[in-house]
Amino acid sequence: MTASFLRFAAIVALAVLLCGGRSPESGPRAQASYGSLEVGKQIPGFGSVSDTGEHYQSREPWTNLTIYSIAPEHPPCTVDVGEKVPSPRARKMGARLMRTGDPKVAKLFGMKVVHGKPFRYDTTMVVICDEKCRVLRIWTSAGIDDLDNLLKQFESERAGK
């Protein structure tokens, strides 16, 4: 192996580590299923306690739309509603946002831990569920910054039905 190839491999490895498995040029990818998630099926059941002390159950809907964002940089469990939701489109839709970096939830959703401490996953994920806790959409390599565009796409797909 040449020295230039080894430098290139080191740069690629560093980029993967810094991006948590998500390459900067890759965008969100829609999935029909991923791990234990499947569009049209109920979300896996799990419980957690949010950073405000509220008990959260994935199969107890609070609103007509629940958005999950799973990424290593998220706190263990934060539930945003109303003005706390960072996406204007999600707020307009009346959605609540559950952000988690919990490796147990990530594994439950089919993500793989690729690095221990700090936790890194093989992807990031956004999942939309309805009032019956059914999965409506799954996107991998997606995050909070993608929410408005993903919800715009979601709304136009639903309007086309």
Instruction: Give me the tens of pLDDT residue by residue for the chain, a chain 161 residues long.
Output: 566 644 654 555 445 444 444 444 479 999 999 999 999 999 998 888 888 888 888 888 778 899 999 999 998 888 888 888 999 999 999 999 999 998 889 999 999 988 777 778 899 999 999 999 999 999 999 999 999 999 999 999 888 86
Does residue 95 belong to any structural domain of this protein? yes
Report residue 137 as tokens. 């959409």
Q: Is 131 part of a structural domain of the chain?
A: yes
The count of domains in the chain is: 1
Tokens of 40: 């049209």
Residue 1 domain flag: no
Give yes or no for a contact between 32 and 136, defined as CB atoms under 8 angstroms apart. no
Is residue 62 situated within a structural domain? yes
Tokens of 63: 């609103």
Q: How many Å apart are CA 124 and CA 143, to the nearest integer?
A: 6
Smallest CA-to-CA distance from 124 within 42, 26, 39 is with 26
Domain that holds residue 124: 28-159
Domain membership of residue 34 (yes or no) is yes
Q: Could you tell me if residue 13 is inside a domain?
A: no
In a domain, 96, yes or no: yes
For residue 58, the domain's CATH number is 3.40.30.10
Of 104, 85, 102, whose CA–CA distance to 93 is shortest?
85
140, 124 in Cβ contact below 8 A? yes
User: Is the whole-model pTM more than 0.95?
Assistant: no
Query: Do 139 and 66 touch, CB atoms closer than 8 A?
Result: no
Is 41 part of any domain? yes
